[in-house]
Amino acid sequence: MNEIVSCSVIDNIAVVRIDNPPVNAMDRAVRAGLNKTFSELKNRSDIAAVVLACAGRTFVAGADIKEFDTGIRAPSFHEVLQLIEDSPRPVVAAVHGTALGAGTELALACHYRVAQQDARFGLPELSLGIIPGAGGTQRLPRLIPLDRALDMMLSGKPLPAATARELGLADALAAGDVVEGAIAFTRDLIARGADPRRTREQPVKNAEKADAILQEKRAQIAKTMRNRKSPLALLEAVKAATELPFADGLKVESEQSRRLVQAPEARALRHLFFAEREVRKIPAVSSDEKARPVSRVGIVGAGTMGGGIAMCFANANIPVTIVDAAQANLDRGLATIRKNYERSVTRGSLKPDQFEQRMALITPTLDFSALASADLVIEAVFENMALKKDIFGKLDGVARPGAILGTNTSTLDIDEIAAVTRRPQDVIGLHFFSPANVMPLLEIVQARQTAPDVLMTAMDVAKQIKKTGVVAKVCYGFIGNRMMDPYAREAEHCLLEGATPEQVDSALEEFGMAMGILAVFDMAGVDIGHLTRVARKHLLPDDPTFYRCSAMLTECGWLGQKTGRGFYRYDNADRKRTPDPETVEMFWAEGKRLGAARRTPDRQEIQERCFYAMVNEGARLLEEGIALRASDIDVVYTSGYGFPRYHGGPMFYADTIGLKVIRDRILEFGRTFDRQYWTPAPLLELLARNESTFDKWDASRRA
Ligand code: COA
C-alpha cells in the first residue's frame, strides 16, 4: 500500500506527496503524515525548498466531511498549516484537479502556488453550513482583493486557474505535469535566493474599503441567503481579518467555526452531501451490469418539456432528433430553444460558437421513422394515457431493438404504458422538472419489468447531462408529486377555514420554501392540477373539501398568472401577486357551506399541517418501496421542489423535530380534522415508538 504522505528528494528539493484516494481528503492520517514530514524537513540542511503535491485525480478536495460528526482529532488543521507556513525554506504547492475547502487552505498556507492550467481553487464551506476554518477567511483576503475573496467564499464557486493567476492566488500556471512545473518554478526560486513568502505576513488587500464591501455583502445575504447562519458568521470572520492581527483573526474564525459545525444547518447540509452521492447506489443493479451506450437521442413532443430536454442533451454534446405531429409546434419549440440559448449568450454563459454548435445538434422533424437510429427516445407529450399509449405503440414499431424508451410522465402508470410494447424491459420513466434545461432533478422510474441495465443506463445518462438521478418505483406521482398532494391539500384546506392565500404562502416561504404552493399553482396554471384530479376522480377521497379551492377557481376561469387572477391577482406588469379579497371571501363562504371549522390557523399550524402531511406520505413511500431511502426523498425535494437545503429535506427535517413529536401531532390533527388524512403511517408509528429516525432506518437497511 502507498504511504498516505511520502517524501522524495530531487536534487535539493523535497517533493512531499499526499496519496489518500479517492479525493485526498485531509483526514487525520493526512494531517499526521504532513506533521511528521514537515517536522523532519525543518531540520534538513540539504533541502533548499519543498514542493507539496497530490497523487491521483485531484489536489486535496477538502477536510474529511465525516470527521465533522466525530470531532476533529489531533493534529489540528491549524497546527499542521502553521508548521508548513513556518517552514524556514520555501514551500510550493503543486495544484491539480480541484483544490477545495481545506485543500485551498493548505495551498494558502504554502508560500507559493503553481497550478495546472485546468485546476480550480474553491472554498465551498458555506454549502456545508460552515466557514473555512483552517485559516481560509484570514489568508485568502491577504492574497486576492477582499471583495473577490468574499465572492469566492459566499458563492462557493471554484476559481479557474487562469483567474486565480490574475488575482494573485496562483503564482504560475503549468501547461504540462504540475509537479514538473512546480519543480521548475522552485528551482528558479532557489536560484533567485527567494525567501519563504508567508501569506499571514501580507496585509489584507483593500482593507480600507472593508466597511463598504462588508455592508454590500450583508445586504446581498439578507436577500439571497435567507434563514442561513453561516454567511453572516463568514462576514464576522473576514471582518476580523481586516481589523485584527492574523493570530487574533484566526481565533475569531475558530470561534465562529466551532459554533456552526454542529448546528442544524451544517448537519442538514452534510446529510445532503452524502445523500446526493448515495442516490447512485441501486441495490437492484449488480456492479457487473453494463450500461447501454447512448450516443443519439430522440424526443417526441416539441413543447416546453420536450424542448428543455433536447437542450439537456445538446448541452452534453449528444445529437437529438425532436419529432412532433405539427410543423407549427416544431417551429415554436425550436424558436424557444433558440431564445433560451440566445439569452445565455447575452448573459455571457455561452459563447456564440457554442450556441451554433448546440443548435446544430438538434434536428426537428415530422417524420416518426427518424427515431429509428436513436439509442434512447424520450416521450414528452401532454399528460394523457391514451396519447402516450398510442405513441409507445408507434415507437415499438420504429425504434431499433435495444433502444431505451423513456416517458416523461409525471403521474401516469408506466407499467400500463410499457404493456403496449413488445419490449417492456426497455421502458422506463424519465421525469424531468420544468424548466428541464435548468432544474437539476431527474426522477428515474423503474417500472415492473424495466431491465437492470436500462436502469443503470438511465443513471449514467443523468450523470452525462449533469442531473441528479433518483430512482423511484411506479405509483401515482412517484416520489415528488405524490408527497406534494397532501402538502397542497392542507394548504388549500386552510383557506376554507379562514386563512388567506398570503398567510398560507408566507408561512411556507418563511419556513424556507422557494415559493408558497398557492403561488406555484398560479404560476403553473390552477387548472392543470384540477384536470388531473377530475380524470382520477374515482380514486380520490369522497370529500367535498378536497382541493375545493382549485376547483372553484377553475370553474370561475381564474387559472392563475395566465389569466391575471387565481389565488392572487396579477394586475401589474411585473406579475407581482397581490391579495384578492373576493376569492378570500369566496373560499370562506364555501368553507362555511361545507362545514369547515372557522378557525384561522396560525403560521406554526400551517407549517405543521403541510409538512407533517408530506412526511407521513414519505413514510408510506418507504414502506411501499417506492423510494429506496429516506435520504433519496430528501434529494428529490431539495433538488426539484424548492425545499430549503438548510433543513436537509423533509425526512431529515422530521428527524430533527423528532418522529414522536410528529406522530403525536398527526394524532392530534386526526382528532380535529378528517381522520382519513391524519393517521400516522405504520413506519412513522414504528420509528416513533422505538425513538428511532429515518436516518437510522436508512442505515439499518444499508448494513
Ligand atoms: N470528505 C469525505 N468524503 C468525500 C469528500 C470529503 N471532502 N469529498 C468526496 N468524498 C467522497 C464522496 O462521498 C464519494 O464517496 P462514495 O464513492 O463512497 O460515494 C467519493 O469521495 C467520490 O466523490 P464524488 O463526489 O462522487 O466524486 P466526483 O469526482 O464527482 O467529485 C469532488 C469530486 C472533489 C469535486 C467532490 O467530491 C466534492 O465536491 N467534494 C467535496 C468538496 C468539499 O466540499 N470540500 C470542503 C469540505 S470542508
- Do 360 and 464 fall into the same domain? yes
- Do 495 and 457 fall into the same domain? no
Cis before 231 (ω within 30): no
Question: Which CA distances in Å does 638 have to 411, 653, 684?
Answer: 20, 12, 21
Distance 631 CA to ligand 1 centre (A): 17
pLDDT over 90 at 613, yes or no? yes
Provide the pLDDT for residue 1.
55
Render 217-268 in DSSP notation, one character per residue: HHHHHHHHSTT-SHHHHHHHHHHHHHHS-HHHHHHHHHHHHHHHHTSHHHHH
Residue 103 lies in a domain: yes
Per-residue pLDDT reduced to its tens digit, 444-457: 999 999 999 999 99
Per-residue pLDDT averaged across 115-122, rounded?
98
Question: Is residue 511 very low, low, confident or very high in pLDDT (cuts 50, 70, 90)?
Answer: very high
Residue nearest (by alpha carbon) to ligand 1 atom 14:
277
Report the alpha-carbon distance of residue 695 to residue 51 in Å, rounded. Answer: 43
- Do 670 and 575 fall into the same domain? yes
- Do 110 and 236 fall into the same domain? yes
- Do 576 and 636 fall into the same domain? yes
Amino acid at 702: R
> In a mutational test of the pocket of ligand 1, which residue from 20, 23, 54, 106 has the highest number of ligand atoms less than 8 Å from its CB?
23
Per-residue pLDDT averaged across 2-9, rounded?
93
Residue 280 lies in a domain: no
Ligand 1 atom with the smallest distance to the CA of 127 is 44
Per-residue pLDDT reduced to its tens digit, 470-482: 999 999 999 999 9
Distance 306 CA to ligand 1 centre (A): 33
Residue 279 lies in a domain: no
The whole domain housing 547 covers 481-702
Looking at the DSSP bridge assignments, the partners of residue 14 are 9, 50
Report the alpha-carbon distance of residue 414 to residue 444 in Å, rounded. Answer: 11
Pocket of ligand 1 (CB under 6 A): 22-23, 25, 58, 61-66, 98, 100-102, 124-125, 128, 277
Per-residue pLDDT reduced to its tens digit, 630-684: 999 999 999 999 999 999 999 999 999 999 999 999 999 999 999 999 999 999 9
Residue nearest (by alpha carbon) to ligand 1 atom 1:
64
Residue 242 lies in a domain: yes
| Between 619 and 2, residue with greater pLDDT | 619
pLDDT over 60 at 426, yes or no? yes
Residue 287 lies in a domain: no
pTM: 0.93
Number of independent structural domains in the chain: 3
Distance 263 CA to ligand 1 centre (A): 21
Per-residue pLDDT reduced to its tens digit, 23-52: 999 999 999 999 999 999 999 999 999 999
pLDDT over 70 at 507, yes or no? yes
> In a mutational test of the pocket of ligand 1, which residue from 18, 57, 65, 68 has the highest number of ligand atoms less than 8 Å from its CB?
65
Amino acid at 347: R
- Do 228 and 303 fall into the same domain? no
Ligand 1 atom with the smallest distance to the CA of 281 is 19
- Do 535 and 586 fall into the same domain? yes
Q: What is the CATH number of the domain that holds 633?
A: 1.10.1040.50
Distance 23 CA to ligand 1 centre (A): 6
Residues designated as active site: 105, 125
Q: What is the CATH number of the domain that holds 86?
A: 3.90.226.10
pLDDT over 90 at 573, yes or no? no
Strand 13-18 relative to strand 5-10, pairing: antiparallel
Distance 272 CA to ligand 1 centre (A): 12
Residue 286 lies in a domain: no
Q: Is 431 helix (H, G, I), strand (E, B) or coil?
A: strand
Per-residue pLDDT reduced to its tens digit, 356-411: 999 999 999 999 999 999 999 999 998 889 999 999 999 999 999 999 999 999 88
Q: What is the CATH number of the domain that holds 350?
A: 3.40.50.720
- Do 446 and 492 fall into the same domain? no
Residue 397 lies in a domain: yes
Distance 52 CA to ligand 1 centre (A): 21
Report the alpha-carbon distance of residue 311 to residue 22 in Å, rounded. Answer: 32
Q: Which helix (DSSP H) or strand (DSSP E) does residue 152 occupy?
A: helix 146-155
Residue nearest (by alpha carbon) to ligand 1 atom 10:
23
Q: Is 277 helix (H, G, I), strand (E, B) or coil?
A: helix
Q: Is 429 helix (H, G, I), strand (E, B) or coil?
A: strand
Residue nearest (by alpha carbon) to ligand 1 atom 47:
62
- Do 465 and 574 fall into the same domain? no
Per-residue pLDDT reduced to its tens digit, 644-657: 999 999 999 999 99
- Do 333 and 193 fall into the same domain? no
R_g over Cα of the chain: 28
Render 676-699 in DSSP notation, one character per residue: TT----HHHHHHHHTT--HHHHHH
- Do 155 and 223 fall into the same domain? yes
Average pLDDT, the chain: 96
Last residue of a domain, one of 414, 443, 472: 472
Q: CA angle, corner 219, sides to 214 and 223, nearest 5? A: 145
- Do 308 and 337 fall into the same domain? yes
Ligand 1 atom with the smallest distance to the CA of 280 is 19
Residue with the three cell numbers 370529500: 543
Residue 291 lies in a domain: no
Per-residue pLDDT reduced to its tens digit, 125-184: 999 999 999 999 999 999 999 999 999 999 999 999 999 999 999 999 999 999 999 999
Last residue of a domain, one of 261, 289, 310: 261
